Amino acid sequence: MLAVFLGGPILSSFWGSLTNASLTGPHAANPEFVGLQNYATLFASPDLPNSVLLTFVFVFFSAVVGQNVLGMILALLLRSGGRIVGALVSTIVIGAWVLPEIVAAFTSYAFFSPTGTLNSFLSIFGVKEVAWLYAYPMFCVIMANVWRGTSFSMLVYSAALQEIPPEITEAAEVDGASGFKRYFLVTLPMIRQSVGTNLMLITLQTLSVFTLIFVMTAGGPGTKSMTLPLLAYQQAFQFSQLGYGTAIATILLLIGAVFATFYIRMLKPEVDRS
């Protein structure tokens, strides 16, 4: 099943990146094998390093830092809070996650638009209107992705924290360990597997985010928010260079494989890694 539904499309995609397939013209019906020409053109293009950098910035700040850290904070607060407060906060946070991505994208676009909620709120304090999506496109899409995806990390960490025996933390508290020491010396080591799993999942999910950025900025202004998924879409479907766009998608797949390998290595027990 994995070979058919995962291996097959990957091999088909790699083969397509070695051709000059297009959406229009003679190569639409009869693509020709061009070898590594698409990759040579891609690595010579200034668009690739810019998109790779923006993709890493987007993944690091919206997933590794934003969703991961905020999800952990919310899980810790829910653990120490009452049932009513926990249920209310969980409902609000999860509400953003269950929204269809297109709805979340338009909601975020409306929030950051010149006449949107953010500028309306800031105007109360005398702050002038700011074209957020034009002046700070990456900040906007990062914040939107954090808002939408944090609940997944919160749920993962909430489940992990519930598995920690309370007597362990109580023993650390009796020994005089402060809250920070209990977290870093007791809690965090015990949920290390959950942290690694969560990081792997949200990293791979964030690498492939397309709709949110496309609706909010379409990769602009210019190429200031042109991550790899948007660059692949632009080359394949807007410029009709299907083979070239598939080469970009293959690079994105390899980056995802590198991240997955790193996280899987991190998840292995210390004995296996030694």
Give the residue from 10, 44, 59, 49 showing the smallest Cα distance to 259: 59
| Per-residue confidence (pLDDT) for residue 213, from 0 to 100 | 96
pLDDT digits (tens, 9 = 90+) for 129-167: 999 999 999 999 999 999 999 999 999 998 998 888 888
When pLDDT is averaged across residues 50-79 and rounded to a whole number, the result is 93
- Decide if pLDDT at 196 tops 50: yes
Q: Which two tokens stand for residue 178?
A: 């402060």
Domain 47-102+131-273 has CATH 3.40.50.620: no
pTM for the structure as a whole: 0.90
| Per-residue confidence (pLDDT) for residue 269, from 0 to 100 | 65
When pLDDT is averaged across residues 62-67 and rounded to a whole number, the result is 94
- Decide if pLDDT at 172 tops 80: no
DSSP 3-state of 33: strand
- Decide if pLDDT at 25 tops 80: yes
How far apart, in Å, are the Cα atoms of 115 and each of 96, 133, 136, 141, 224? 22, 12, 16, 18, 22
- Decide if pLDDT at 86 tops 80: no
Of the chain, the percentage scoring pLDDT greater than 70 comes to 97
d(CA 30, CA 140): 42
Give the residue from 16, 62, 6, 70 showing the smallest Cα distance to 38: 16
**Residue whose tokens read 């690739």:** 48
| Per-residue confidence (pLDDT) for residue 271, from 0 to 100 | 44
- Decide if pLDDT at 234 tops 90: yes
| Per-residue confidence (pLDDT) for residue 20, from 0 to 100 | 92
| Per-residue confidence (pLDDT) for residue 272, from 0 to 100 | 52
Computed over every residue of the chain, the mean pLDDT equals 89
| Per-residue confidence (pLDDT) for residue 164, from 0 to 100 | 84
Of the chain, the percentage scoring pLDDT greater than 90 comes to 61
When pLDDT is averaged across residues 66-70 and rounded to a whole number, the result is 94
Most confident of 1-5, 99-103, 270-274: 99-103
243 vs 97, which has greater pLDDT? Answer: 243
- Residue 64 carries which side chain, given as an amino acid letter? V
d(CA 202, CA 194): 12
- Decide if pLDDT at 265 tops 80: yes
225 vs 8, which has greater pLDDT? Answer: 225
CA neighbours within 13 Å on the CB side: how many for 15?
A: 8
Lowest mean pLDDT among 35-44, 58-67, 84-93, 212-221: 84-93
Give the residue from 73, 63, 89 showing the smallest Cα distance to 161: 73
- Decide if pLDDT at 173 tops 80: no
